[in-house]
Amino acid sequence: MSSERRERPPTSLFISRSYLSTESNKTGSWRFLRPRYEEKTAPCSVACPAGEDIGRIEMLTAEGRFHEAWETVLRENPFPGICGRVCYHPCEHVCNRGEFDEPVAVHILERFLADAAARFELKPSIERRTPRTEKIAVVGSGPSGLAAAYFLARLGYQAEVFETMPEPGGVLRWGIPPYRLPLSVLNQELTLIRELGVRIHCDREVSPESLGATGSGYDALVLGCGHSRSLDLKIPGENLKGVEDGLRFLGRIRRGETPALQGTVAVIGGGNTAMDVARSAARLGARSVVIYRRRRQDMPAFAEEVEMALAEGVEIHELETPVAIRRRGGRLGVTIQAMRVAGEDSRGRARVEPASGKTREMEVERLFLAVGATTVAEWQDPPPQGRGVLSLCNSLLVHEPGHPVLVFGGDLVAETKSVVHAVASGKEAAMALDRLFRDGLEAVRPGLQACLVGGGPSLSMEMYLNGPRSSRNHRIVQYDDLNTDHFRFAPRIVEPRLLRQERLRSFAEIVLRIGANVAIREAERCFNCGLCNDCDNCQLFCPDLAVICDRKAGSRSINYDYCKGCGLCVVECPRNAMVLEEEAPCARS
Amino acid sequence: MRKVIEGSHAVAEGARLARAQVISAYPITPQTHIVERLSEFCADGTLDARFLRVESEHSALAALIGAASTGVRTFTATSSQGLALMHELLHWASGARLPVVMANVNRALAPGWNIWADQTDSLAQRDTGWIQLYCEDSQEVLDTTLQAYRLAEWVYLPVMVILDAFFLSHTYEPVDIPDQESVDRFLPPFQPRFHLDPESPCTFGQMSPPGVYMEMRRSIQDAMEDALLAFADVEEEFSRVHGRRYGPVEAVHCDDARVILVTSGTVTSTSRQVIAELRARGEKVGLLKVKLFRPFPVESIRTALGRAQKVAVIDRNFSFGASGIFAQEIRAALCNLPGHPTVFGYVAGLGGRDVTTAIIEEIYIRTRDAEAPQGESLWVGLQEVKHAP
C-alpha cells in the first residue's frame, strides 16, 4: 500500500536558485579598508641578542623539519648546541605565550635541534657570499672570535683565528664545566666553523704588532680575547697556598684533573664563574659556600644558575666579604666582614659598605676567587671615544687610515657578559667590516641599522643578506595582537634532568635529551608571533572567497576585485601576520 | 531494546539512529541534555557527525542551513529564548526548503525568568513554515524524531519535534530503542533533489522579484498540504517497521462524546486518566490529542469533533490580546462546519504550573454545565495577586 503512495508526484519545490555568475559584480569596489599579508617581528627574536628567528625555527620544528630549523638557527648563531645549553634565554622571558600559559621552552628546542643534527651528522647548506680578497685576523677563539670568523667566512672573507691556549673555545672550553656543556658539543660546532674554511691557530701568542709584522697584511683584526685574567681581592693573604683563582680551577677540571676536595670550600664572588666553581667543588666532595658582598638578587650570575647551585647544596652567604686570609694549620682562616646596604645604584643593585664592628672568623680548606676578570694586556682594552672610533651596539670599531681596522668584541665591550652576547658582537663585527670594505666607514652605521631585529640591538645576518626575513615589519607583536581563540592551553615541557644525587657524583651533563615527538609538541606551543604558518584561517573565514591559496607554492593572495575589506581575515589570523589599512581615497582597485 | 531513559535522551537517541551528519547547538535549559548526549556520541565515535559549537542559537541554525544546503542530514535542539533568537533563520530554513530537524523543549519565555513548561515559544513560531509535531511521552519523542527526518526529506520543509520541559525532557520512562538496522530500513540515506555542489556552482536564495516570489510562497504551502498526506505515509511505513503509530490527531471516545477535551503535549496523559474516570461515572466525554500542529490537520479535527456538542480546548500557552492558540485554531477549523460544536477555551499550566486531574475535571464540569463560553479563554486556577501601585 505504501509503495503505491510513494508514486505520488514529488512535492512542489520552487526555490530561488541561479547558475549565473556573480563575478560581474566586483564587490571589491565597496572596500574602504584593505587587508594585506604582512609578517611582523616576534618579541623573542628581538630579545635574543643573536636575533634568532625563533618563531620560524619553532614553526619548522613543529612540522618536523628539523634540518631546516637547525639551519635557521645557524643563519644567526653558529652555536645552537652551546646556546641551547648555556644561554640564559632572554627570549623566553618575553615570550607572548607566557601571558597565555607558560613560555615556550626555546632553549630546550634549540639544543634538541643541535643534538639531532649531530646525531644524524647533518651538514648545513647556508648561503655564502662570493669570496673577497680582504684578510682578517681574529684574536681569541672564544664565542665572539669564533662567531666573527664564522660570519666573516659566510660573507666571503678569509678569517684566521689565533688562540694562545693549546685548544680553541675560550670560555666555552675553559670556563664552563662539562655538566653544563660537554666537550663533544663544543667540538661538534667547532667542526662546522672549520668546515667553512676558518683556520684556527692554537698556541699562538699574538698582538697587533706581531700580526702586522707577519707581513701577510691583515686588513682587519677582530679582538675577541675576552677577560681571562682574574681580578684580585686586594686583601692580605690572597696569595697563600690554598687560595686559587676560580677560572684556573675550572680550566684544570676541563683538562681532566679531579682534585679531591674535603671540608668546607669558600668561593668569593657572585657571577656565573663563582656558581660554576662552587658547583664543581661540590662535585669533588666539598661543602661549597659562596660569599658575596651584595644581596642574592644583585648577583650577576643568571638566576637559573643560582637556583641550580642551591639545589645542589651550595650555600650562599650574602652581604659578606673576606678582609683577610691566614694560614691556620693545614687550613685557611678567613676574616669575614659583614656588609650593609646603603642605597641602590641606577640598575637597582645594592650599594654596600662594611657594617662597622661586625666581623666573624671562618675556617676553610680552600678558597677560590671569582670576583671578576679583565684583559691580560692593555692593548685589548677598547679605546675611549674619539676620531675613527665607532661605538656600535655590540662592538667597537677603530678605523685609522694606514692601519688594519680593529673591532673590539665579546666581553671586551659587552655590558652583559654571556655567550650569546659574544655571538652578537662577532656577528656585528663581521657585518661592520663587510660594510666598511664595500662602502666605506660612513656606510657602516646605516648598513647595520637596516638589519636590526625589531628596534634592535639584535642584528640579523639573514636580513643583512636580504633574505626573506628582510620583508618583515619591524613592529613587535604584542600578546593583545594575537587571536588566542585559536590556541589551546598546553603545559610547557619539563626539562629532564639528572637527579640531584646523580649530579653530585660526576661532571656528567645535568640536562638530558628529549625525543623528537616531545620537541614537536613543545614547538607546536609556539604562537609564531607575526609569522604565517599556512594555517589558512584567512581563506576559511573570508566570506567572499577572495583569499586565493596556491597550495603547491604554499602562498596566498587576496583577490581585491572581490575583497570587501571586512577585515575578518585579519581578525581571525591567530598570529598577526596580516594588517588592515585604510584605502587611499583615489587608489581603489 | 527497552531501556529506562530520560526524555531528552530519547531525542538524542532518535538523532543518533537517524544518522544526523551535522549537529550544531547552543546550550539552554531544559534542552541541554539532548545535545550533551549527542556530543558524547560524536566524541566516542558512536555517531559519525560533525558537532559544531557555536556562540548562539542564531548561529546554530545558520550553521545547519549552510550544512543542509549541501544535502546532509542536520539536527539541532533549543528552547524558549533560544528559539526566539532563531526566529529570522526559521523563516530562512523553510524558505530555502531545507529539511532541518530540530527538537524544541517547550519552556516559558522571560521575563520573569522561568525555565518550566509552556508552549508559547514554539506556537509563536507557527507562521515560519516549519512542520510542528507535539509529543506526549518519551517513546513518542524518539519515534517522532525518526519520522521527522522522513517527513522533512519528503516535502523539503524543516520539522520541529516538540516536548514539554521537565514533564518530558527530564522524566525517565521506559523507551523501546529500535536497532540501527530497522531504522536504516525506515530511513535510508537522504537523496536530495538539490544541493550545493562546488562542481556546479550556483546561488541559492538570490533576489526573487514580485514576478516569482508569490509562486515560491505558494510552493511552500503546497508542500505543507502535501505534508499532511506524507505524514500518513510516513506513519504507515513506520508502523510496518516498528509497530507504532500516533496519527496527526488521536481521538479517544470521541464517537459518542458530548464534550470533547482537546489537548497537546503531556497534559494529554493526565487527561486520559481523567476521562477514563469520568467515563466510568457515565459521563459522555472524549479526548482529542493534537500532535500535528503545522500543517494543521483540519479535516481530521472536523471529523473527530464534528458530532460533539461542546469542545474544551486546554491551552498551556497564550496569544496576548486574543486567546489560547490551540483554541483559536480549533475555532477556525470548525467555524465553517454547519452545526459545529461550541468551543470553550481554557488556559492552564503556564510557566510549568501543574495541570492536575482536578483541574482537568473542573474544566470538563464547567464546560458540561455552561450554556455558552464566558469569553475566548478562561484562565483556570488564577490566584489573587497584589499589583504594583
Report in angstroms the alpha-carbon separations of A137 from A220, A433, B58, B327: 6, 12, 72, 102
**Average confidence (pLDDT) over B135-156:** 98
Q: Given an 8 Å threshold on Cβ–Cβ distance, is A11 in contact with B194?
A: no
The mean predicted confidence, pLDDT, of chain B is: 97
Please state the rounded mean pLDDT for residues B95-113.
98
Q: Is the pLDDT of residue A465 over 90?
A: yes
Model confidence at B214, pLDDT cuts 50, 70, 90, reads very high
Give the pLDDT score at B141: 98
Q: Is residue A586 less than 8 Å (CB to CB) from chain B?
A: no
Mean pLDDT across the stretch A107-116?
Answer: 98
Partner residue facing B156 (CB), from A11, A16, A18: A11
Residue A258: what pLDDT? Answer: 83
A10 interaction partners in chain B (CB closer than 8 Å): 193
What share of chain A has pLDDT > 90, as a percent? 76
A1 band by pLDDT with thresholds 50, 70 and 90: very low
Q: Which residue of A has its CA nearest to B200?
A: A19
Write down the pLDDT at residue A401.
83
Is there a contact between B15 and B142 (Cβ–Cβ < 8 Å)? no
Lookup: cell for B309: 456538542
Q: Is the pLDDT of residue B249 over 90?
A: yes
- B197 close contact with A: CB closer than 8 A: no
Say whether domain A44-124+475-524 belongs to CATH 1.10.357. no
3-state secondary structure of A271: coil
Query: For residues B176 and B139, is the Cβ–Cβ distance under 8 A?
Result: yes
pLDDT (average), residues B36-59: 97
Band (A7; pLDDT cuts 50, 70, 90): low
Residue A212 has a pLDDT of 61
CB contact under 8 A, A15 and B216: yes
Rg (CA), chain B: 21
Cis previous bond, B112, omega within 30: yes
**Residues of A in Cβ contact (< 8 Å) with B201:** 19, 21
| Phi, psi (rounded to 5 degrees) for A36 | -155, 145
- Confidence at A233, pLDDT banded by 50, 70, 90: confident
Q: Which residues pair with A162 in a beta bridge?
A: A139, A201
pLDDT of A36 over the 70 cut: yes
> What is the reported pLDDT for A180?
95
A135-228+375-460 maps to which CATH number?
3.50.50.60
- Interface contact B361, partner A, CB < 8 A: no
Q: Is the pLDDT of residue A110 over 90?
A: yes
Q: How far apart, in whole angstroms, are the C-alpha atoms of residue B160 and residue B122?
A: 9
Q: Report DSSP letters for B150-200, one per residue.
A: HHHHHHT--EEEEEETTTTTT-EEEEE---HHHHHHHSPPP--SS---TTS
**What domains can be seen in chain B, in order of their start residue?**
2-242 (3.40.50.970), 249-379 (3.40.50.920)
Of all residues in chain A, the one with the smallest CA distance to B95 is: A15
Q: Is A368 helix (H, G, I), strand (E, B) or coil?
A: strand
Looking at the predicted structure, is the pLDDT value of residue A234 above 80?
Answer: yes
With contacts defined as CB-CB under 8 Å, which chain A residues touch B230? 11
Q: What is the pLDDT of residue A215?
A: 52
- Contact call for residues B79 and B8 (beta carbons, < 8 A): no
For chain A, say whether B185 makes contact (Cβ under 8 Å): no
Are the Cβ atoms of A11 and B215 closer than 8 angstroms?
A: no
Q: pLDDT higher for B96 or A346?
A: B96
Instruction: Give the pLDDT mean for A189-195.
Output: 96
Give strand pairing partners of A578: A37
Indicate the burial class of B282 (C-beta count within 10 angstroms; 0-12, 13-18, 19 or more).
exposed
Task: Give yes or no for B172 touching A (CB within 8 A).
Answer: no
Q: Do B193 and A12 touch (CB under 8 A)?
A: no
Residue A3 C-alpha, separation from nearest chain B C-alpha, in angstroms: 9
Q: Which of residues 20-39 of A touch B (CB under 8 A)?
A: 20-22
Cis peptide before B295 (omega within 30 of 0): yes
| pLDDT beyond 70 at A589 | no
pLDDT cut 90: percent of chain B above it: 98
> Residue A14's closest chain B neighbor by CA?
B216
B202/A2 CB distance under 8 A:
no
CB A453 within 8 A of CB A43: no
Determine contact: A13 vs chain B, CB below 8 A.
yes
Does A6 touch chain B if contact means CB atoms closer than 8 Å?
yes
Task: Report pLDDT digits (tens) over A397-444.
Answer: 998 888 888 899 988 988 888 999 999 999 999 999 999 999 999 999
B contact residues 4-33, partner A, Cβ 8 Å cutoff: none
Is residue B63 pLDDT above 60, yes or no? yes
Nearest Cα neighbor of A332 from A232, A249, A263, A230 is A263
Are the beta carbons of B206 and A14 separated by less than 8 Å?
A: no
CA distances from B87 to B25, B83, B90 (A): 15, 6, 5
- CB contact A517 to B (< 8 Å): no
Model confidence over B336-356: pLDDT tens digits? 999 999 999 999 999 999 999
Q: Please report, in angstroms and rounded to a whole number, the separation of the first and last CA atoms in chain B.
A: 59
Contact B216 A14 (CB under 8 A): yes
d(CA B342, CA B56): 44
Q: Mutation test of the interface with chain B: which of A11, A19, A22, choosing the one with the most B Cβ atoms within 10 A?
A: A11
B229 to A8: CB separation less than 8 angstroms, yes or no:
yes
* A2 reaches B (C-beta below 8 A): yes
The tens digit of pLDDT for each residue in A283-337 reads 999 999 999 999 999 999 999 999 999 999 999 999 999 999 999 888 999 999 9
Query: Mutate which of B131, B225, B226 to disrupt the A interface (most A C-beta within 10 Å)?
Result: B226
Residue B358 sits at the chain A interface (C-beta within 8 Å): no
Tell me the average pLDDT across A149-173.
95
Of B200, B206, B215, the CB nearest to A14: B215
Instruction: Report which DSSP code applies to A12.
Output: P
A-interface mutation test, from B194, B229, B233, B238, most A Cβ less than 10 A away:
B233
Q: Which pLDDT belongs to residue A3?
A: 44
Contact B102, B149 (CB under 8 A): no
Residue A146 has pLDDT above 60, yes or no: yes
Window from A151-155, A389-393, A513-517 with minimum mean pLDDT = A389-393
**Among the partner residues A1, A11, A19, nearest to B154 by beta-carbon distance:** A11
B317, pLDDT greater than 50: yes
Cβ of A15 within 8 Å of Cβ of B233? The answer is: no
B237 part of contact set with chain A, CB < 8 Å: yes
Domain boundaries, chain A: 27-39+532-582, 44-124+475-524, 135-228+375-460, 229-371
**What is the structure's pLDDT at A99?**
97
Query: What integer best gives the mean pLDDT of chain A?
Result: 92
pLDDT tops 70 at residue B326: yes
DSSP-assigned states of every residue in A292-351: -SS-GGG-SS-HHHHHHHHHTT-EEE-SEEEEEEEEETTEEEEEEEEEEEEEE-TTSPEE
Q: How far is Cα A56 from Cα A44, in angstroms, rounded to an integer?
A: 11
- Cα separation, A401 vs A388, in Å, equals 9
Query: What is the spatial distance between Cα A275 and Cα B34, in angstroms, rounded to a whole number?
Result: 62
pLDDT value at A8 more than 80: no
Residues of chain A with pLDDT > 70, as a percent, come to 97
Which amino acid type is present at position A6?
Answer: R
Per CATH, A27-39+532-582 and A229-371 having the same topology is answered no
Choose the weakest-confidence range: A28-42, A205-219, A360-374, B82-96: A205-219
What DSSP string describes B134-152? E-SSHHHHHHHHHHHHHHH
What's the confidence (pLDDT) of residue A347? 85
Cell (9 digits) for A393: 651596539
pLDDT number for residue A4: 46
Whether pLDDT at A12 is above 90: yes
The whole-number pLDDT of residue B329 equals 98
Map residue A172 onto helix, strand or coil.
helix
Q: CA of A21: which chain B residue's CA is closest?
A: B202
Cβ distance B237 to A12 less than 8 Å, yes or no, reads no
Cβ-based contacts under 8 A for chains A and B: 62
* Placement of cell 482537568 in the chain: B360
CB contact under 8 A, B97 and A15: yes
**Domain A27-39+532-582 falls in which CATH fold?**
Alpha-Beta Plaits (3.30.70)
* Mean pLDDT of the B241-246 span: 96
Q: How far is A540 from chain B, CA to nearest CA, in Å?
A: 14
A16 → closest Cβ in B216, B223, B237: B216
Candidates B55, B186, B202: best to mutate against A (most CBs of A within 10 A) is B202
Inspect the interface and report whether the beta carbons of B236 and A13 lie closer than 8 Å: no
Helical (H) or strand (E) element with A95: none
The predicted pLDDT at position A9 comes to 85
The CATH class, in words, for A229-371 is: alpha beta
Task: State how far the Cα of B63 lies from the Cα of B57, in Å rounded to an integer.
Answer: 10
**Average pLDDT, stretch A548-556?**
87
Q: Which of B194, B236, B240 minimises the CB distance to A17?
A: B194
User: Does the distance separating the beta carbons of B205 and A16 come in below 8 Å?
Assistant: yes
Phi-psi region of A372 (alpha: psi -120 to 50; beta: other; left: phi over 0): left
The amino acid that residue B167 corresponds to is: F
Residue numbers in B near A19 (CB within 8 A): 200-203
pTM value > 0.80? no
Residue A81: predicted pLDDT? 98
| Option in B194, B226, B240 nearest A2 (CB) | B240
Which amino acid belongs to residue A401? Answer: P
Of A5, A12, A19, the CB nearest to B223: A12
Report residue A82 as a C-alpha cell.
652551546
Q: Does A125 touch chain B (CB under 8 A)?
A: no
For residues B9-36, give the mean pLDDT: 97
Determine whether the interchain pair B200/A1 forms a contact, defined as Cβ–Cβ distance below 8 Å: no
pLDDT at A555 over 90: no
**What distance in Å separates the CA atoms of residue A197 and residue A334, rounded to the nearest whole number?**
51
- Answer yes or no: is pLDDT of A587 > 60: no
Q: Check whether A340 has a pLDDT greater than 80.
A: yes
d(CA A138, CA A162) in angstroms, rounded, equals 6
Residue A553 forms contact with B (CB below 8 Å): no
**Mean pLDDT (whole number) for A264-269:** 95
Among chain A residues, CA nearest to B207 = A16
- Nearest Cα residue in chain A from B222: A12
Q: Where are the alpha helices (DSSP H) in chain B?
A: 7-17, 32-43, 57-69, 80-85, 87-95, 120-123, 138-155, 180-186, 210-242, 267-280, 298-305, 325-334, 357-369
Cell readout for A580 is: 588592515
Report how far apart, in Å, the C-alpha atoms of B288 and of each of B304, B313, B330 are: 7, 9, 11
pLDDT of residue A586: 64
Predicted confidence (pLDDT) per residue in B158-191, tens digit:
999 999 999 999 999 999 999 999 999 999 999 9
Query: How many CB atoms are located within 10 Å of the residue B112 CB?
Result: 7
